[in-house]
């Protein structure tokens, strides 16, 4: 089911359709690349500044995007650029119609079989995800960064809007999922996220760390994946004090 974007009544149905399509494109870009500025959105979609402001304002009014605020993030002069991320409502607009049914089915499973049944279901789903992407990972070769990119590409093809973003320092890559088809279900059953993380670790052959999830309230699912040895740090010299000396007074 495609996203639905409410528009005021109009005597031009064709124009309404174009407007809704443009706003869906903007929302998808915010989901994939957010936090992102209106200027960047305008450049991607070849829209004027006035045009992008109108669409962004409409999406904000519909509570589908919001300004991403980082405490202490602005240090320069002047008004900082507004960076947008998708809200939970925005993600729901791009989700399919089966989330509620999936939640009901898992609740029924808990009631009839027990909580362990959900753990088993999540693990099987993780194994199937692993099977689905294993060939793409094998074909990527041995370079860890290339393998993460192959996983991101394969997941994007399945609707996860995934990207691979190198971490400064060159020893890790963050796999970011801007959209999750099972977000609403995973909000109530985090076992799905946990099993998915274990599947990533098995696929890539390294220990990965999930930093945030859409289901947990993040604006993106982020998994930190090491790609090389951490940078060596200079050892600190221990402070040697004479035996019997009293407490140090700094």
Residue 130 and residue 94: Cα distance in Å, rounded? 24
Q: Give residue-wise pLDDT tens across range 78-94.
A: 567 789 998 878 877 76
Residue 128 pLDDT more than 90? Answer: yes
Which CATH code, of 3.30.1380, 1.10.287, 1.10.150, 3.40.1130, is assigned to 99-226?
Answer: 3.30.1380
> 250 pLDDT band (50/70/90 cuts)?
very low
- For 96, other C-beta atoms within 10 Å of its C-beta total 13
Task: Return the pLDDT at 76.
Answer: 53
Was domain 19-94 assigned CATH 3.40.50.300? no
Q: Give residue-wise pLDDT tens across range 167-210.
A: 988 799 999 998 888 888 898 999 999 999 999 999 999 999 99
Task: Return the pLDDT at 78.
Answer: 56
**19-94 and 99-226 share one CATH topology?**
no
Residue 102 and residue 77: Cα distance in Å, rounded? 49
Where exactly are the structural domains of the chain?
19-94, 99-226
Instruction: Output the pTM of the full model.
Output: 0.59
Alpha-carbon separation of residue 44 from 83, 87, 135 (angstroms): 15, 21, 32
Percentages helix, strand, coil for the chain (3-state, rounded to 5) are 50, 10, 40
Q: Give residue-wise pLDDT tens across range 38-54.
A: 999 999 999 999 999 99
């Amino acid at each position: 089911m495609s996203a639905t974007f409410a528009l005021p009544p109009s005597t031009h149905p064709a124009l309404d359709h174009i407007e809704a399509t443009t706003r869906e494109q903007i929302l998808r870009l915010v989901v994939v690349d957010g936090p992102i500025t209106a200027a960047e959105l305008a450049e991607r979609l070849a829209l004027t500044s006035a045009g992008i402001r109108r669409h962004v304002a409409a999406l904000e009014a519909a509570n589908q995007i919001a300004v991403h605020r980082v405490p202490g993030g602005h240090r320069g002069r002047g008004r900082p650029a507004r960076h947008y991320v998708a809200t939970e409502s925005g993600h729901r607009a791009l989700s399919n119609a089966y989330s509620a049914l999936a939640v009901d089915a898992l609740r029924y499973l808990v009631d009839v079989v027990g909580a362990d049944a959900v753990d088993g279901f999540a693990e099987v789903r993780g194994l199937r995800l692993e099977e689905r992407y294993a060939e793409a990972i094998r074909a990527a070769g041995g370079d860890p960064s290339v393998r993460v990119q192959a996983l991101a590409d394969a997941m994007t093809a399945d609707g996860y809007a995934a990207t691979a973003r190198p971490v400064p320092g060159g020893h890790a890559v963050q796999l970011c999922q801007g959209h999750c088809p099972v977000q609403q279900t995973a909000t109530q059953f985090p076992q799905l996220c946990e099993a998915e993380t274990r599947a990533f670790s098995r696929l890539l052959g390294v220990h990965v760390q999930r930093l945030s999830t859409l289901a947990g309230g993040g604006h993106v699912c982020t998994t930190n994946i090491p790609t090389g040895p951490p940078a060596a740090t200079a050892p600190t010299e221990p402070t040697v004090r004479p035996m019997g000396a009293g407490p140090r007074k700094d």
